[in-house]
Amino acid sequence: MNETRILTAAQMRWADQATTRTGASTATLMDRAGVAIAAAVIECMPDYGRIVIIAGPGNNGGDGFAAAYYLRDRRLPVTVVSLIPLADLSDDVKIYADRAHEAGAKTREACADGCFAELERWLVRASMIVDCMFGTGVSRPLEGRMRDVVERINVSDRAVLSVDIASGICADTGCVLGVAVQADFTLPIATTKWGHWLNEGRDYTGKLLAAADIGITDATIQQGWAESCECADEDNCFCVKSTSVIHDDFLDKAWPVRARLSHKGSYGHVWIFGGSMGLTGAPQLAGLGAYAAGAGLASIVCPDAVWPVIAAANLEVMAHPQSDADWQSADALVIGPGWGRAQGELLSTLFDTDKPIVVDADALNIVAARGSLRQKLIEREYLTVISPHPGEAARLLDITVEEVQRDRKKSVIALTTRYACWVVLKGSETLIASPQKDIYLNPFGSAQLAVAGSGDVLAGMIGAQLAKRNEAVSPAIAIAAAVALHGKAGERGGWYLAGELAKVISDMRQSIEQGGMRH
């Protein structure tokens, strides 16, 4: 499959340095970046006109000078506004500053408080602005002159292409560091960064272009993941096996064409443990989610007191009172939707089963409150998925919701490390982590999914995927595909209730199975 990788700033620095150690000079990498930037500018520029490149310190600025040289090779008018004195450029950057100047690019300085008139003179003449200020090199809030430069770019009313990442966005968390460039387009260098996807970063990225190939191999990127497990700086350590973005191939693998001679037993029986007074809808939505994702059968086990309500409300999802439920033939269990917090004894029993389980909602709250159940979850040897939202994740990690959200990638790794199971950390850009520390980022979804019951539908979908017992589909594909299809359906119009969402999911899933379009 065509993977989109994700790196932290530290992993990117390691990969860059490793590539130069194997023979490619910094100037060579800068040259390749310049070619890619020039091509991106030509692809994205709204009209023919002057390209104004804002070059900061370091190699990101050097990439801007290299791009200026190649844009001049295409006879485009270019001005490079340097935020540091040209005399202070490093040797590698100076090579391309000289080449750009010799090719006819105008080079100007705006490196003191009194030089903003020079910056604004060129901003108003730009057809497109190229942000080569900082890239992944920003680690603290932009202040003073640099903050003023960003604010002037943002009010210029010109199309903006940011190189690697919008300046002012933390490459590791996506948080705005004081102020950030509002890009219309972003060209990642070598691979995407976490800041393109998380927190405010996605809002400032604009259209994320395909990563520029500057000669850093996938093998080097994978080694960078391993090296980040051994760094001395704890703040920059992020120990993972792999990090990638979910894409449409996951869906094709998860929902192949159905065999003509298949039957309902071919697609698994999902048993959902949930429901309580006032919360009878949650397990029913999980059942609809299971069917929407392709389960052959779905059953609910609920407390006896609410069984008449749940049984009467369903045509397709079977309902059983907790006192008389023979669930041992289940192919997978979904535990927790609308369950309340008084089911600790039953939850302990369910943890003993050898069935794949999805632990969701109130079952997670019960685990968080009981040390014995935490330990039992950790020691469970069979396929287990927990699917917390940020509040539940905070309780499981004994931290605040703000801490979970501040760095979601570290939170999902902390969860899978502590509980030794698969984790689906729900929210904008849901993250999936394996016990082996592979992370899959879901780029699909919308704010429409912020409605009661949508998470219950997702829990049922994951349960359906685990119930299939298709050895050709790995847990990573199965879980990631459920999350991705749920997100894609959430982007569609025409629904606003979780029950309606399940119908959208069902239509899209059937289209995939029939070889149709997914979008």
> Is residue 518 in a domain?
no
> Is residue 94 in a domain?
yes
CB count within 10 Å of CB 129 equals 25
* DSSP helix/strand/coil, 73: helix
Is residue 384 located within the same domain as residue 491? yes
Q: Residue 500 is which amino acid?
A: E
Number of domains in the chain: 2
The pLDDT, as a whole number, for residue 469 is 72
- Please state, in angstroms and rounded to a whole number, the distance separating the CA atoms of residues 85 and 269: 68
Task: Find the CATH number of the domain harbouring 152.
Answer: 3.40.50.10260
> Is residue 16 in a domain?
yes
Q: What is the dihedral of CA 202, 405, 153, 155, to 10 degrees?
A: 90
The pLDDT, as a whole number, for residue 231 is 65
Is residue 196 located within the same domain as residue 293? no
Q: Which helix (H) or strand (E) holds 109?
A: strand 106-109
Q: What is the dihedral of CA 370, 375, 379, 385, to 10 degrees?
A: 40
CA triplet 283, 380, 387: central angle to 5 degrees? 40
Is residue 219 located within the same domain as residue 337? no
Q: Which helix (H) or strand (E) holds 318?
A: strand 318-321
The pLDDT, as a whole number, for residue 114 is 58
The pLDDT, as a whole number, for residue 314 is 85
Q: CB–CB of 409/174 below 8 Å?
A: no
The pLDDT, as a whole number, for residue 98 is 95
- Please state, in angstroms and rounded to a whole number, the distance separating the CA atoms of residues 514 and 195: 36
203-249 confidence digits (pLDDT tens): 999 999 999 999 999 999 999 998 888 765 666 678 999 999 999 99
Which of 173, 201, 234 is where one domain is finished? Answer: 234
Is residue 224 located within the same domain as residue 253? no
- CA dihedral sign of residues 45, 49, 55, 59: positive
Which of 20, 41, 38, 40 minimizes the C-alpha distance to 29? 20
- Please state, in angstroms and rounded to a whole number, the distance separating the CA atoms of residues 135 and 65: 14
Is residue 323 located within the same domain as residue 201? no
Is residue 229 located within the same domain as residue 270? no
The pLDDT, as a whole number, for residue 117 is 84
**Residue 419: domain span:** 248-513
The pLDDT, as a whole number, for residue 1 is 43
Is residue 219 located within the same domain as residue 349? no
299-329 confidence digits (pLDDT tens): 999 999 999 999 999 899 999 999 999 999 9
- Please state, in angstroms and rounded to a whole number, the distance separating the CA atoms of residues 423 and 358: 10
The pLDDT, as a whole number, for residue 516 is 60
Task: Find the CATH number of the domain harbouring 428.
Answer: 3.40.1190.20
Q: CB–CB of 213/36 below 8 Å?
A: yes
Is residue 445 located within the same domain as residue 484? yes
pTM for this model (two decimals): 0.94
* Contacts of residue 288, Cβ cutoff 8 Å, sequence gap at least 6: 316, 317, 457, 460, 499, 502
> Is residue 241 in a domain?
no
The pLDDT, as a whole number, for residue 233 is 62
Segments of the chain scoring below 50 in pLDDT: 1, 518-519
Q: Distances in Å between the alpha carbon of 64 and those of 71, 72, 472, 492?
A: 10, 12, 46, 39
> Is residue 239 in a domain?
no
Is residue 158 located within the same domain as residue 296? no
Is residue 175 located within the same domain as residue 260? no
Is residue 213 located within the same domain as residue 257? no
- Please state, in angstroms and rounded to a whole number, the distance separating the CA atoms of residues 184 and 161: 6
Q: CB–CB of 240/413 below 8 Å?
A: yes
